[in-house]
Amino acid sequence: MNSSAAIEVKGWCPGALRPMPSSDGLIVRVRPRSATLGLDELAALADAAGLFGNGHIDLTRRANLQIRGVSEATLPQLHEVIARLGLLDDSPDGEAVRNVMINPLAGIDPAEVLDVRSIGGDLARLLAFEKSLWALPTKFGFVVDGGGVLGLAGQRGDVRLAAIARGPDAAVAVGIETANGVEWLGSVSPGEAAEAAIETGLAFIGVASREKRQRMRDLSDENLASIRSAIGPRLDALRQNPRNADGPLIRRAGLIELGAGRLAVGIAAPFGRVEADQFRVFADAMAAHGVKEIRLSPWRALYAEVPSEQSGQSILVAAASVGLIVDPGDPLLQIEACPGAPGCQSTSLDTRGDGRRLAGLLPLFGFTGTIHVSGCAKGCAKSGTSDLVLVGAEGRYGLVRNGTAQGSPARRFSFSDLAADPGKIFDADRGSRHD
Ligand code: SF4
């Protein structure tokens, strides 16, 4: 395809067929199916990132990979690799709406309610091929939560499916994410779940404004009532509500005991950035221990089932040796930071360097909340709220508590001011919501 024409489009997420220009070249997003990549696929993508991009790979908050620094000249060769792996869609419009998030340990986790891979797979196929669905906004997302130790209740989406019962009475709740939170509309059998989600998406298209790029949470009460009327007749009454919160952010890195004798490792990337060489090191270590595939998560960590504790520890040592996060208590897991300077021209702030410096301060203050360091109000690293946001403007940071990068801080500080008196940052009593 002619990628240049596609690159002119604004207000969208990058794809493989519709890459996004950035200061370091084109960003090419690869959407793995069922959040899974074989180790050979991972190695092929890491090699391609080095050959056809600048070697930087981002783990995204939609559980995808982004290969950075691609040029118009190298894009066709990268497309060839992605196509060979079966991950290149037929249409950029179908690819753009194929936004389905499932649990990273689906099918592995003995504690899950249901293995939702087939529901997620059916949903992804319908989105990619049903042209009537391509009118969905490209940021519109579907969350398919099978429960278990790595649940998705805390992840944002527009349409939600959540497994609530297994066995002969297996059921999946169907919900929508409104401005007031998740509203559960009813339930269906697992075999009907993907279709129910699609019908909910079509009902959304029927009432939403394309010009305003509305999401489910932007709809009026009247529009939401239309969606309830459209989808309601095909749903059963809910026998129980899905859980509405995940556990704390523990055990998301390191060795994870899943129960029933099964083990997994979690490896996180600081701020979601992994270099192609880092991928190769831990992919080699995993292969040496018989691991066949990795799973991606929306919190920028990778998972793999391992055959024994010893293998898991060897893989974690290899990952730690190249700077990846394998300790669930690592304060870097609390921090999101956009690329900032010098990569992004919208700020002069070294957001990721400042994020690392902040991480060093967290244990001293016992701060266990989430932090977002953003070079500007665009908030590329995170759209949802964080306990603390450092948002940059004109070379200084403002502090927003329990908000987003769009918050309006009253005062701004240089990072060195903040580092000299970290109480300004971590002592919530010294500031209200906006300092
Ligand atoms: S949030 Fe602003 S400074 Fe950070 S990467 Fe996005 S545009 Fe650049």
CB 268 within 8 A of CB 252: yes
* Residue 276 located in a structural domain: yes
Confidence of residue 429 (pLDDT cuts 50, 70, 90): very low
Q: Do 382 and 423 sit in the same domain of this protein? A: yes
More confident residue, 110 or 364: 110
Q: Ligand 1 centroid to 375 CA: how many Å?
A: 5
Average pLDDT for residues 261-285, to the nearest whole number? Answer: 94
CATH number at residue 265: 3.90.480.10
What was the pLDDT predicted at 8? 38
Residues 6+ apart with CB under 8 A from 387: 369, 370, 371, 401, 402
**Average of per-residue pLDDT across 385-409:** 93
Measured CA to CA, the distance from residue 183 to residue 266 in angstroms comes to: 31
Ligand 1 centroid – CA 233 distance (Å): 44
Give Cα separations from 351 to 148, 254, 314, 337, 365 (angstroms).
Answer: 34, 26, 32, 6, 20
Same domain assignment for residues 261 and 367: no
Q: Is residue 9 part of a domain?
A: yes
107 lies in a domain? no
370 and 424 co-located in one domain: yes
Query: Is 56's pLDDT higher than 70?
Result: yes
User: Can you tell me which atom of ligand 1 is nearest the CA of 341?
Assistant: 3
Q: Are residues 179 and 220 in the same domain?
A: yes
Q: Is the same domain home to 227 and 260?
A: no
Cβ–Cβ contacts within 10 Å for residue 435, how many?
18
Nearest atom in ligand 1 to the alpha carbon of residue 381 is 1
Q: Which helix (H) or strand (E) holds 190?
A: helix 190-207
- pLDDT for res 249: 47
Q: Are residues 272 and 176 part of one domain?
A: no
| pTM over the 0.85 mark | yes
Residue 98 lies inside a defined structural domain of this protein: no
Ligand 1 atom nearest residue 344's Cα: 8
Q: Are 369 and 396 in the same domain?
A: yes
Which domain range does residue 49 map to?
A: 3-87
Longest pairwise C-alpha distance within the chain: 61
Is residue 364 included in any domain, yes or no?
Answer: yes
Q: Are residues 300 and 355 in the same domain?
A: no
Query: How far from chain centre, in Å, is Cα 198?
Result: 21
- Give residue 311's pLDDT band: very low, low, confident or very high (50, 70, 90): very high
Is 361 a domain residue? yes
Residue 435: per-residue pLDDT: 55
For residue 411, give the CATH number of its domain.
3.30.413.10
Q: Are residues 181 and 204 in the same domain?
A: yes
Which pLDDT score is estimated for 247? Answer: 53
Q: Name beta bridge partners: 273.
A: 58
Atom of ligand 1 nearest to the CA of 349: 3
Q: Does residue 433 register a pLDDT over 70?
A: no
Ligand 1 midpoint to CA 66 (Å): 16
Instruction: Tell me if 68 sits within 8 A of 50, measured CB to CB.
Output: no
* Residue located nearest, by CA, to atom 6 of ligand 1: 380
Q: Write down the mean pLDDT value for the chain.
A: 91
* pLDDT tens-digit series, residues 116-136: 999 999 999 999 999 999 999
Answer for the pair 220, 205: CB distance below 8 angstroms, yes or no.
Answer: no
Among the ranges given (18-32, 203-217, 288-302, 347-361), the one the predictor scored with the smallest mean pLDDT: 203-217
The last residue of one of the domains, among 300, 330, 360, is: 330
Q: Same domain for 218 and 294?
A: no
Distance 347 CA to ligand 1 centre (A): 7
Inside any domain, residue 405? yes
Please tell me the predicted confidence (pLDDT) of residue 246. 61
Confidence of residue 9 (pLDDT cuts 50, 70, 90): very low
Considering its fold, how many domains does the chain have in total?
A: 4
Kindly report the CATH number assigned to the domain that includes residue 38: 3.30.70.3340
299: pLDDT strictly greater than 60: yes
* pLDDT reported for residue 7: 36
Distance from residue 58's CA to the centre of ligand 1 (Å): 15
Evaluate whether residue 96 is within a structural domain. Answer: no
pLDDT at 251 over 60: no
Co-location of 349 and 399 in the same domain: yes
Per the listing, tokens 């519109």 go with 140
The binding-site residues of ligand 1, defined as CB within 6 angstroms of any ligand atom, are 338-340, 344, 346-347, 374-376, 378-380
Last residue of a domain, one of 173, 200, 234: 234
Interval 325-353 mean pLDDT: 93
Q: Of all atoms in ligand 1, which is nearest to the CA of residue 405?
A: 1
Do residues 123 and 229 both lie within one domain? yes
User: Where a domain ends, among 45, 70, 87?
Assistant: 87
